[in-house]
Chain A
Amino acid sequence: MLRFILHRTLLMIPTLLGVAVLVFFLLRLMPGDPVATMLLGDAGGANISQEVIDQERARLGLDQPLAVQFFKWFWGVLQGDFGVSMWTGRSVAYEIGIRLELSLQVAVMATILAVLLALPLGTLSAIFKDTWIDQAIRVFSIAGLAVPSFWLGMIIILLLLTYFSWIPPLTFTSFVDDPWENLSQLIWPALAVGYRYSAVSTRMMRSSILEVLQEDYIRTARAKGVMERLVVARHAMRNALLPVVTVISLEFAFLIGGLVVTEQVFNLNGIGKLFVEAVARSDFTMIQALVLLVSVFFVLVNFVMDLMYAFLDPRIRYR
């Protein structure tokens, strides 16, 4: 197992290196000069002289050869220095850091909600297949798939506003500083996102359990007189969890940077919103760091997923 972990860890390096090279050079392939776009895009841009553009380009190091730019940037990344945001003028690591806490918390809360709903509901739906319980759970989960998170978020806000003349706080407070204020802001987006997330997982759990319940070893267990509850809990659920773990893990990684519209609805200053701002403001250093960050999350989640497979299904052995 240790060898497997080491092997997978080493494999992450070329993956992330590839992402770094791709994102750096693809951004440079985009037509137009980022500095000119950045400065001309301001309302006062008509007054920008070429001298100012050249000075800004030199200040940002964009006048140097591409290879030099890449190695300077990559050397900084290896040392944990992602550079300075072309938009805010502050360290990219700082800008990402203050948003990552929020995005991670929403992702974790939504994941907890999804797991708490999906595992029991998916299992119940499979066990009571084609009964009213199954139908009710299917309606609940299909509705979750059909309703976009941002729309549900808008409905939540309007209900709170209409019935309580209240909306969640607009600025982020860390859980450590004020748990109540923090939860009163983040519980609502977590609900909106978690519902759709749970619906996907519930559907996957149901179909996976149904498939496992047809397996020979389940029939054998039943023939041996094992109680149905134990058949489901010990034999079916554990094996059925593999595809569900995959879905949950990939959704979690997606939530880190993919909640652009939901963050807009709840006015959350998260990673998704930062992504949009960085693109809108041609903030190359920020875009590079964000793409790398999301890639790191996907790679790590895949790594953890592989470990969980081994834990859940002892037949899986890594060499």
Chain B
Amino acid sequence: MKQISALFLAAVALAPAAAMAAETPVRGGLLKFAVSAEPPNYDCHAQTSFAFIHPVRPHYNTLLEFNTAKYPAIKGDLAESWTVSKDGLTYTFKLRKGVRFHDGSTLTSEDIKATYERLRNPTGGVRSVRQATYADIASIETPNAQTVVFRLKKPNSGMLASFASPWDCIYSAAKLKQDPRFPERNIMGTGPFTFAGHVAGSHWTGRRFEQYYEKGKPYLAGYVAIFISGAPMVNALSAGEVIVEFRGHPPANRDRIVKALGNRAVVQETPWVCSLVVTFNTKKKPFDDQRVRKALNLAIDRWGGAQALSQVALVRHVGGILRPGYELAASEKELLEYPGFSRDVAASRAEARKLLAAAGVPNLSFTLTNRNVAMPYTPVGVFLIDQWRQIGLAVKHEQLETRLYLAAQQRDKPTFDAALDFNCDFMDEPNLQLQKYLSHDRAPINYAQQTDRVLDELFDRQSGELDRKKRYAILREFEKRALEQAYTIPTIWWHRIIVHHKPLKGWHITPSHYVGQDLADVWLDQ
């Protein structure tokens, strides 16, 4: 174990971004990486999973993108420059010249307009899961082929970052005009790699796009994303059949791969913009009673749980509704004031018992609906059940296959009691993370089903607030109410661990496994 730790520390020390940047990239080579799931279709605008981003993102560009070496800094992708009006209502983007789609056609502002119209107002059977993100856009104008102007109905402090969303692939206006659902089964972007093939159940391949707008890039000749998961994936990484998996590993897998590879392994770690949240079905008794939900929140020892679970699972950080460490997140001192975050667990649990007794359900028994994905759903589910048992509750653990698990929460009148839901985003942004806490009619992804106009109003206020300090204060109000009402409660935030082979260069870990995956800067030192 000591040897593993030493190797791990050495590997982490070898990883700094500055050292990577100093090296001269080499052109050529085929990057083979693992993806532990497979995309259901090819449309960026309808997807939410890394299983889609990792193989598909290299075929596309977005308007802006994150500078992964300096996260959360934003840089231009198809936009060469941009300006935001002082009132925060007008965003003007100047596009790069000479950007070509993979079919040879030239990108213009019409393509940007068509893409964002499709995102904010999907028609003809098109699915856009980001419609709400762009609800504040009033109009999109294209004064000339290289300029696009977005006019907003009201200020939105998260809007600029939204334009860097990795999900908002820019499509060809001409193709969308022919068939609005063209991207569902076809790949045609401006990205650094062209689509070479997809063998469902096996792998996805991309080849370098020789007419890519950034001269000399991409460095790789191509890539192969191999769909493989669990122990076979760890074996494949250890044997070098794949050299990286971009989502993240639990500590045990990290140690196993590092042990197998020795000094050929590089480990990169960071807190993750992902957490598991417990959702209570507020349409069902006794979870419609705030005292019951609060009691269940109070029973959880998050500090002890984080310490114990981080040894076996990819969760590590105690935080509220925003990722700990993010500038708008609550400090530890503030967290300790919230229900369920006190370090005096015995006192919290005593209060929880009183609340349950007052609600008339001192010996409550219910089912926790969970996903049958081992990491980190199973250990966190088991942990929660253990916590609730300590206040005398009997909880059944129901682990369902992903599709059934999601359907159980998403159906019209859900019948689940409590569910372990996930909250993963492409960046730290309250407008995204708070969606899980809004009223159900405002945010369909909040499966707790509640209506709470106080939270909705606080959300709107923080979203429209351009002053960071004022926004921070509103967020604390929101957080306090959300945790007091406990429709949905955060558990423990994730910790992202990536192990890759040493020859992989030009890739930087970020707190999100969705960003930095276009592979344009990645190269192989071999």
Contacts and interface: CB of A to CB of B under 8 A. Distances in A.
A267 B232 CA distance: 7
B165 to A, nearest CB: 13
Nearest to B409: A46
B61 interface: no
B127 A44 contact: yes
A95 B200 contact: yes
A154 B47 CA distance: 34
Given A46-B447, A172-B202, A41 B260 contact: no
Contact of A52 (B125, B231, B260, B401): B125
Contact of B403 (A41, A44, A51, A154): A41
Contacts of A160: 239
A14 interface: no
Q: Is the interface on chain B under 10, 10 to 19, 20 to 34, or 35 or more residues?
A: 35 or more
A42 B201 contact: no
B474 to A, nearest CB: 26
A124 B313 CA distance: 53
Contacts of A8: none
B196 to A, nearest CB: 13
Interface string A148-179: 00000010011011000111011110000000
A181 interface: no
B329 interface: no
Contacts of B201: 99, 269, 273-274, 277
A88 B42 CA distance: 10
- Counting chain B CB atoms within 10 Å of each CB, the highest count among A56, A171, A281 belongs to A171
A67 interface: no
Nearest to A95: B200
A45 B410 contact: yes
A202 interface: no
B406 A43 contact: yes
- Counting chain A CB atoms within 10 Å of each CB, the highest count among B228, B241, B242 belongs to B241
Nearest to A157: B235
A264 B403 CA distance: 20
B177 interface: no
Contacts of B128: 47
Interface residues of A, number: 47
Contacts of A225: none
Interface string A278-302: 0011100000000000000000000
B461 interface: no
Given A47-B444, A264-B232, A87 B202 contact: no
A44 B48 CA distance: 6
Contacts of B226: 170-171, 267
Given A269-B202, A273-B201, A43 B49 contact: yes
Contacts of A99: 201
A161 B261 CA distance: 11
A46 B444 contact: yes
Interface string B39-63: 0110000111100000000000000
B432 interface: no
A87 B199 CA distance: 12
B48 A165 contact: no
Contacts of A45: 406-407, 410
Given A41-B403, A42-B48, A166 B129 contact: no
A281 B40 contact: yes
A39 B41 CA distance: 11
B445 A42 contact: no
Contacts of A44: 46-48, 127, 129
A214 B46 CA distance: 70
Contacts of B235: 157-158, 161, 167
A88 B41 CA distance: 7
A165 B40 contact: no
Given A44-B129, A166-B239, A171 B203 contact: yes
Contacts of B444: 46-47
Contacts of A135: none
Nearest to A158: B235
Contacts of B431: none
A89 B410 contact: no
A82 B445 CA distance: 36
Contact of B199 (A39, A158, A269, A280): A269
B445 to A, nearest CB: 5
Interface string A247-278: 00000000000000000111101000110010
Interface in B437-456: 444-445, 447
A98 interface: yes
25 contacts: A40-B407, A40-B411, A42-B406, A43-B49, A44-B46, A44-B48, A44-B127, A45-B410, A46-B445, A56-B125, A88-B200, A89-B185, A98-B199, A99-B201, A157-B232, A165-B239, A165-B240, A169-B241, A170-B236, A170-B241, A171-B199, A171-B202, A267-B226, A277-B200, A280-B403
Interface of A: 37, 39-48, 51-52, 55-56, 59, 85, 87-90, 95, 98-99, 154, 157-158, 160-161, 165-167, 169-172, 264-267, 269, 273-274, 277, 280-282
The 10 closest A-B pairs by CB, nearest first: A41-B403, A44-B129, A46-B444, A55-B125, A269-B202, A43-B48, A167-B239, A269-B201, A89-B185, A44-B48
